[in-house]
């Protein structure tokens, strides 16, 4: 899970980890990175690696302080992660 925010978008370490994650996805031929945003930074940045992430479904936790909004976002993330899980690992 990749937590995206104004600060993480500016981080060289996060950029390195995302680049490594994309490489791992190419090797495995499956999704490894699952982005979740805390603000709009990933949608506004010019960073090339962030642009690649925008092509994916990004979990939206911008309203994480609101209990109901957080709960809806969390349920969506769990649902989406379950869909991505290899069928052999489901139900364990």
Residue range(s) defining the domain that contains residue 24:
2-85
Q: Is residue 28 part of a domain?
A: yes
- What letter would DSSP give residue 35? E
Write down the pLDDT at residue 76.
87
pLDDT, tens digit, 9 for 90 and up, residues 31-74: 889 999 999 999 999 999 999 999 888 888 988 888 998 898 88
Q: Is residue 13 part of a domain?
A: yes
Write down the pLDDT at residue 91.
53
Q: Is residue 73 part of a domain?
A: yes
Q: Is residue 91 part of a domain?
A: no
Q: Are 37 and 73 in contact (CB under 8 A)?
A: no
Write down the pLDDT at residue 45.
95
User: Nearest Cα to 21, choosing from 12, 11, 37, 32?
Assistant: 32
Q: Is residue 38 part of a domain?
A: yes
Q: Is residue 92 part of a domain?
A: no
C-alpha angle 43-75-70 in degrees, rounded to nearest 5? 60
Which residue is associated with the tokens 């609101």? 66
Q: Is residue 90 part of a domain?
A: no
Residue 83: pLDDT band by 50, 70, 90 thresholds? confident
- When divided into structural domains, the chain yields a total of 1
Q: Is residue 35 part of a domain?
A: yes
Write down the pLDDT at residue 10.
93
pTM of the predicted model, to two decimals?
0.73
pLDDT, tens digit, 9 for 90 and up, residues 11-30: 999 999 999 999 999 999 99
């Amino acid at each position: 899970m990749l937590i995206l925010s104004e600060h993480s978008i500016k981080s060289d370490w996060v950029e390195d980890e995302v680049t490594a994650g994309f490489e791992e996805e190419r090797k495995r031929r499956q999704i490894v990175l699952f982005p979740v945003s805390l603000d709009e930074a990933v949608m506004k940045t010019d960073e090339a690696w962030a642009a690649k992430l925008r092509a994916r479904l990004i979990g939206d936790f911008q309203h994480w302080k609101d209990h109901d909004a957080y709960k809806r976002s969390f349920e969506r993330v769990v649902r989406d992660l379950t869909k991505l899980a290899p069928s052999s690992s489901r139900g364990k």
